[in-house]
Amino acid sequence: MGNHTVTHSVILGTGSYVPERVLSNADLEKMVDTSDQWIRERTGISERRVARADEATSHLSLHAANHALEAAGVEPGEIDLIIVTTLTPDTMCPAAACWLQSHIGAHRAAAFDLNAACTGFVYGLQAADAYIRSGMMKKVLLVSADVMTRMTNWEDRGTCVLWGDGAGAVVVGASENGRRGVVDSRVYSDGNGGELILVPGGGSRFAPITADDVHNKEHLLQMKGQETFKTAVRYFLGACKETLERSGLTLDDIDVFIPHQANLRIIEAVAKRLELSMDKVVITINKYGNMSAATIPVALDESVREGKIRSGDNVLMAAFGGGLTWGAALVEWN
């Protein structure tokens, strides 16, 4: 690799995409025994987006990636590596990242998927950061995208009200202006909690998946909501505190906090325990629901485009999800 002097990686550009179709709480009232009031009070969600039948994860990713590449001023041919973090790839094989590569024409890139469920963006950012800092890759396109409505059990009112579809992307490269970029990131997992958020079918556990398995909805996402809720708050807090401590920063130094958007009550509980003003917390769950891996980069992109994140700002991101997986990343904005 030669005498590379890369010390930090930075986010060169952001992009996002959500499908056009809106599914409101009023629409859900017609599908399951629920109410707009229950959904808003218990989750903070008013509406979410649903992908068209011909839109798979790589198609959502393509729109987000194009916006990020444009913002970064980077051509597809300059990309060395594409990472797509998703739990809903277009196909089991090949990876969504390979489909995206073919749509986008990034002919030089290597491409792979990373599945860390809702924590995908934090895992992906750490991976991109490590590749860039090592000098092994110069430009990484990181996309976090999920079409959660394809895994939704529309008869389970406890989960079907939560999910939405979307994609967020960043282009990661080496810092050239002295900014610290990705200051630190921490990722964790606990496989013993695997049954809390689970899609049993579609992998090698049920192979081949039978009509009975499908009838029993084994191909759809199941979640133990209450247990997940309690664990989420604890792990969120731990990841944020450790990332801050390692970075030598305090919460006063944080300008913008972007938590994974699974439930507004989880976000408020975390902000309260961190003693962080909600003014610094980015909220999108009201309009998009839980888009799994996509929630953080979509919120990041919208915040950048709305001018809420400026050069030099410290942006803390934290997520929790299936695996169990969780983590946090701190970025000094370029």
Residues that bind ligand ACO (CB under 6 A): 34, 38-39, 42-43, 117-118, 157-158, 161, 197, 225-226, 228-229, 232, 262-263, 266, 290, 292, 320-322
The contacts of residue 106 (CB under 8 Å, 6+ apart) are: 76, 77, 79, 82, 141
Residue 299 CB, shortest distance to ligand ACO, in Å, is 15
The catalytic position among 8, 63, 67, 260 is 260
Nearer to ligand ACO, 94 or 225 (CB): 225
Residue 331 CB, shortest distance to ligand ACO, in Å, is 22
SS3 for 8?
Answer: coil
Distance CA 230, CA 286 (A): 21
| Beta-sheet strand order (sheet of 181-189) | 181-189, 325-332, 314-321, 256-259
Backbone torsions φ then ψ of 100, nearest 5 degrees: -65, -40
The catalytic position among 25, 115, 263, 290 is 290
The catalytic position among 98, 118, 160, 240 is 118
Nearer to ligand ACO, 202 or 225 (CB): 225
Active site residue 118: yes
Give the amino acid at 313: D
For residue 70, CA distances in Å to 15, 205, 310 come to 8, 41, 18
Residue 152 CB, shortest distance to ligand ACO, in Å, is 11
Closest residue by Cα to residue 320 from 232, 221, 249, 224: 232
Nearer to ligand ACO, 132 or 223 (CB): 223
Active site residue 219: no
Strands (E), the chain: 9-17, 21-24, 47-50, 81-85, 110-114, 139-147, 165-174, 181-189, 197-198, 222-223, 256-259, 314-321, 325-332
Residue 69 CB, shortest distance to ligand ACO, in Å, is 27
Active site residue 107: no
Nearer to ligand ACO, 131 or 188 (CB): 188
Residue 179 CB, shortest distance to ligand ACO, in Å, is 31
Query: Nearest to ligand ACO by Cβ — which residue?
Result: 321
Other CB atoms within 10 Å distance of the CB of residue 116: 27
Give the amino acid at 237: L
Distance CA 24, CA 128 (A): 36
Nearer to ligand ACO, 159 or 303 (CB): 159
Give the residue numbers marked as catalytic.
Answer: 118, 260, 290
